[in-house]
Amino acid sequence: MTKPVEGFSKLSKEEKIDWLSVNYTRTPETTQKLLKSYWNTDSDVQRLHDEFIENTVTNYYVPLGIAPNFLINDKLYAIPMAIEESSVVAAASKAAKFWLKRGGFSATVLGTVKIGQVHLIYKGTPKKLQLFFDEIKPNLIQSAASITKNMSKRGGGITDIILKDKTDLLEGYYQLHCTFETLDAMGANFINSCLEQFAKTLKSKAETSTLLAQNERHIEIIMSILSNYVPDCLVRAEVCCPVEDFNLNDSMPANLCVQKMVQAVEIARVEPHRAVTHNKGIMNGVDAVVIATGNDFRAVEAGVHAYASKDGRYTSLTHAEVKGDQFHFWIEIPLALGTVGGLTSLHPLVKLALEILDNPSAKDLMKIVAVAGLAQNFAALSSLITTGIQEGHMKMHLMNILNQLGATEAEKQVLVQHFKKKSATHNAVVDAFEALRNSQ
């Protein structure tokens, strides 16, 4: 039985690998060789990666692909996408090519407000707490001046602080609901630093307040933390074209394609089971660009899915309609992104991805990411309402299956050719592979 380890974080990387492979794998030497094979040959680059997180033993690679031909607000982009799922980059590229011939994508940032909260418990009179807050609000903002100084010079900073009474949800529960403008930074550290200072100042001022009775001066600070739900940090991306130009393939007339596309989006709007998968496809595109540009895809995911539920039920993030003779397709999603700070200035591939995107501002990156999500959804729906999702997806997945089967390069060439006009289901690929092997 494996025993708990003491001081694991203090071991060298080699020692960590030795301990891990001996205690948790069947073939320690093979494990050690595998882990070390993913180390970067440039020791300086590897040291940089090692310091991103704790207890690093190796690098975990995710492919970085490029989806070209994205025309966004009349500017042509090649979009970097970091993702492991087959067909995502191909689908985005196909959508970009389709809309390139129809005027491209347009995108607009609707808001950039980010949120943080100080959560507290107060057992006194609500009106007195409000009067106390109104009196000290300027002090709260002033107390964070040293933190906000540089951000304010660039035009950002604290935009407001309000006191929210949440006692209908939890006894004694109030919060300082704070809003911020963080410009090109995602701003998590900035926001959290401000919030913690607000909490200290609030508690200190309460202890000497003449507005609060002696027994009301104890305010219990539970926590101070930013929120990843940012419904007012919003971006809209859209496409439109005449209905007669919406010809997805030769076997279905354009007006029927439009009709089925609108109905498919409506189904995702009213049916949560479909909406989850519908939105997951959107996030294939969103997450891939978020990861490639060094942003926090977990925060984005959480905020986007909360936004999809903002009206009391989980629903589609995209919308489609016909106005006159025009087909319109659009998305509105909250995206708190940064192009400075964090990994954006540390990870070599993140820096390269941002360079490929012409070093965008945070607002520009919001537009690009929203477009990637819209394109991904368009590509998925286009397949679903015409040939079905599996025809294209399984052809892209073909190489993964062949690699799992241990196919040689020569066998891969034969089988890729074989499945050009056939459905590449897993069983069909296995059968064709075994038949090819037997024939040899």
Phi-psi domain of 183 (left: phi exceeds 0; alpha: psi -120 through 50; beta: other):
left
Chain position carrying tokens 């394609």: 257
Q: Where residue 320 falls among pLDDT bands split at 50, 70, 90?
A: very high
CA dist 186 and 337 (Å) reads: 5
- Whether residue 175 lies inside any domain: the answer is yes
Q: Where residue 390 falls among pLDDT bands split at 50, 70, 90?
A: low
- Whether residue 155 lies inside any domain: the answer is yes
Helix, strand or coil for residue 417? helix
Which of the following is catalytic: 184, 238, 287, 296? Answer: 296
| Same-domain status, 106 and 240 | yes
The answer to whether 226 and 188 are in contact (CB under 8 A) is yes
Amino acid sitting at position 175: Q
Which of the following is catalytic: 218, 280, 363, 412? Answer: 280
The beta strands (E) that lie in 218-310 are given as 220-227, 234-242
Q: What is the mean pLDDT of the chain?
A: 94
Amino acid sitting at position 17: I
CA dist 201 and 136 (Å) reads: 9
- Whether residue 58 lies inside any domain: the answer is no
Q: 393 catalytic, yes or no?
A: yes
Return the higher-pLDDT residue of 193 and 415.
193
Query: What is the reported pTM?
Result: 0.90
Residues 6+ apart with CB under 8 A from 386: 248, 249, 251, 252, 257
Which of the following is catalytic: 85, 181, 216, 245? Answer: 85
Q: What is the pLDDT of residue 432?
A: 86
- Whether residue 56 lies inside any domain: the answer is no
Among 68, 166, 80, residue whose Cα is nearest residue 117: 166
| Residue 190's CATH number | 3.30.70.420
Amino acid sitting at position 310: K
- Give the count of domains, the chain: 4
Q: What is the pLDDT of residue 389?
A: 60
Q: 397 catalytic, yes or no?
A: no
CA dist 358 and 46 (Å) reads: 26
Helix or strand run (H / E) with residue 382? helix 362-384
Among 351, 291, 372, 401, residue whose Cα is nearest residue 64: 291
Residues 6+ apart with CB under 8 A from 128: 211, 212, 213, 216
- Whether residue 359 lies inside any domain: the answer is yes
| Same-domain status, 179 and 68 | no
| Same-domain status, 302 and 265 | yes
| Residue 269's CATH number | 3.90.770.10
| Same-domain status, 77 and 137 | no
Amino acid sitting at position 248: L
> Mean pLDDT, to the nearest integer, of 376-405?
80
CA dist 214 and 380 (Å) reads: 63
Instruction: Convert the pLDDT of each residue in 124-154 to its tens digit.
Output: 999 999 999 999 999 999 999 999 999 999 9
Return the higher-pLDDT residue of 12 and 405.
12
CA distances 236 to 301, 333, 334, 381, Å, are 17, 7, 9, 19
Task: Show the tokens assigned to 207.
Answer: 């202890």
Question: In the listed set 362, 387, 412, which residue is the last one of a domain according to the structure?
Answer: 387
| Same-domain status, 122 and 106 | no
Q: 85 catalytic, yes or no?
A: yes
Q: What is the pLDDT of residue 56?
A: 97
| Same-domain status, 308 and 405 | no
Residues 6+ apart with CB under 8 A from 355: none
Return the higher-pLDDT residue of 420 and 272.
272
Return the higher-pLDDT residue of 123 and 418.
123
Q: Where residue 94 falls among pLDDT bands split at 50, 70, 90?
A: very high
Q: 266 catalytic, yes or no?
A: no
| Same-domain status, 325 and 370 | yes
Domain that holds residue 358: 64-110+233-387
Task: Show the tokens assigned to 371.
Answer: 């477009």
Q: Where residue 406 falls among pLDDT bands split at 50, 70, 90?
A: confident
- Radius of gyration, alpha carbons of the chain: 27
- Whether residue 302 lies inside any domain: the answer is yes
Q: Where residue 115 falls among pLDDT bands split at 50, 70, 90?
A: very high
> Mean pLDDT, to the nearest integer, of 309-335?
98
The answer to whether 17 and 24 are in contact (CB under 8 A) is no
Among 96, 102, 98, 103, residue whose Cα is nearest residue 77: 96
CA distances 5 to 10, 19, 26, 55, 125, Å, are 11, 9, 19, 13, 52
> Has residue 399 got a pLDDT over 80?
no
Task: Show the tokens assigned to 375.
Answer: 């394109």
Q: What is the pLDDT of residue 180?
A: 98
| Same-domain status, 148 and 46 | no
Instruction: Convert the pLDDT of each residue in 37-76 to its tens digit.
Output: 999 999 999 999 999 999 999 999 999 999 999 999 999 9
Q: What is the pLDDT of residue 393?
A: 53
Question: In the listed set 198, 227, 256, which residue is the last one of a domain according to the structure?
Answer: 227
> Mean pLDDT, to the nearest integer, of 343-357?
94
Which of the following is catalytic: 16, 94, 393, 397? Answer: 393
Helix or strand run (H / E) with residue 329? strand 326-334
> Has residue 394 got a pLDDT over 80?
no
Instruction: Convert the pLDDT of each residue in 269-316 to its tens digit.
Output: 999 999 999 999 999 999 999 999 999 999 999 999 999 999 999 999
| Same-domain status, 260 and 288 | yes
- Whether residue 311 lies inside any domain: the answer is yes
Phi-psi domain of 7 (left: phi exceeds 0; alpha: psi -120 through 50; beta: other):
left
Chain position carrying tokens 């891990």: 20
> Has residue 397 got a pLDDT over 60?
yes
Q: What is the pLDDT of residue 422?
A: 74
CA dist 291 and 391 (Å) reads: 28
Phi-psi domain of 439 (left: phi exceeds 0; alpha: psi -120 through 50; beta: other):
alpha
What are the beta bridge partners of residue 322? 327
| Same-domain status, 127 and 203 | yes
Question: In the listed set 184, 203, 227, which residue is the last one of a domain according to the structure?
Answer: 227
In this predicted structure, which of 57-71, 192-206, 226-240, 340-354 has the lowest mean pLDDT? 340-354
Q: Where residue 16 falls among pLDDT bands split at 50, 70, 90?
A: very high
Q: What is the pLDDT of residue 11?
A: 97
CA dist 33 and 306 (Å) reads: 43
| Same-domain status, 419 and 286 | no
CA dist 330 and 367 (Å) reads: 12
Q: What is the pLDDT of residue 251?
A: 84
> Mean pLDDT, to the nearest integer, of 323-346?
95
| Same-domain status, 255 and 357 | yes
